[in-house]
Copies of this chain bind each other. A is one copy, B any other.
């Protein structure tokens, strides 16, 4: 695997997640996430692996078409920074694979926490040294559950699987996007309210 600048999954320098594995189990139960979902996600990973660039084109196109969203990729002059967008894009592509392939363990939780911090004022703009908007507001992270879930389906359907298999992969994807978006909210939330 080529190394991706700023991608620190598994690094011992990461802070551990504030959530325990038991917290994670309760969350998974609350959104009906089971081992079958991991199986379906592994299959989704095989389906999506060679489509990552097309998926990112769709997502980036969506963000780019909304000034109030692309704002958060603003560079020093306030305009969307192509360099910033490109730097994040590589890690975003890797995230698709991690979502499908990684075990959801303490290391995974730690990187979820890190991704939350990177959207939040605590750590946004530090990884690449770009960016002027101090943070992505929490409301949009949760809102994106919809587009990130809905737009993946056509890609899951492109490799000749049955409707039932596609549906299975899609439901697992939906669950993990909800799970990750909520984990990323942690730094935004008042002490004790998460």
Measured CB to CB, the residues of A under 8 A from B are 26-27, 29-32, 66, 68-69, 120-121, 135, 137-140, 142-147, 149-150, 171, 174-175, 178-179, 181-182, 185, 188-190, 193-194
Contacts and interface: CB of A to CB of B under 8 A. Distances in A.
Contacts of A68: 26, 29-30
Contacts of A31: 143-147
Contacts of A179: 143
B174 A121 contact: no
A119 to B, nearest CB: 10
A172 to B, nearest CB: 11
Given A26-B68, A32-B147, A142 B178 contact: yes
A191 to B, nearest CB: 9
Contacts of A142: 142, 178, 181-182, 185
Contact of A27 (B32, B139, B147, B175): B139
B145 A178 contact: yes
Contact of A30 (B140, B171, B181): B140
Nearest to A146: B31
A181 B69 CA distance: 20
B29 A121 contact: no
A21 B181 CA distance: 24
B147 A145 contact: no
B188 A175 contact: no
Contacts of A26: 68
Contacts of A185: 138-139, 142, 185
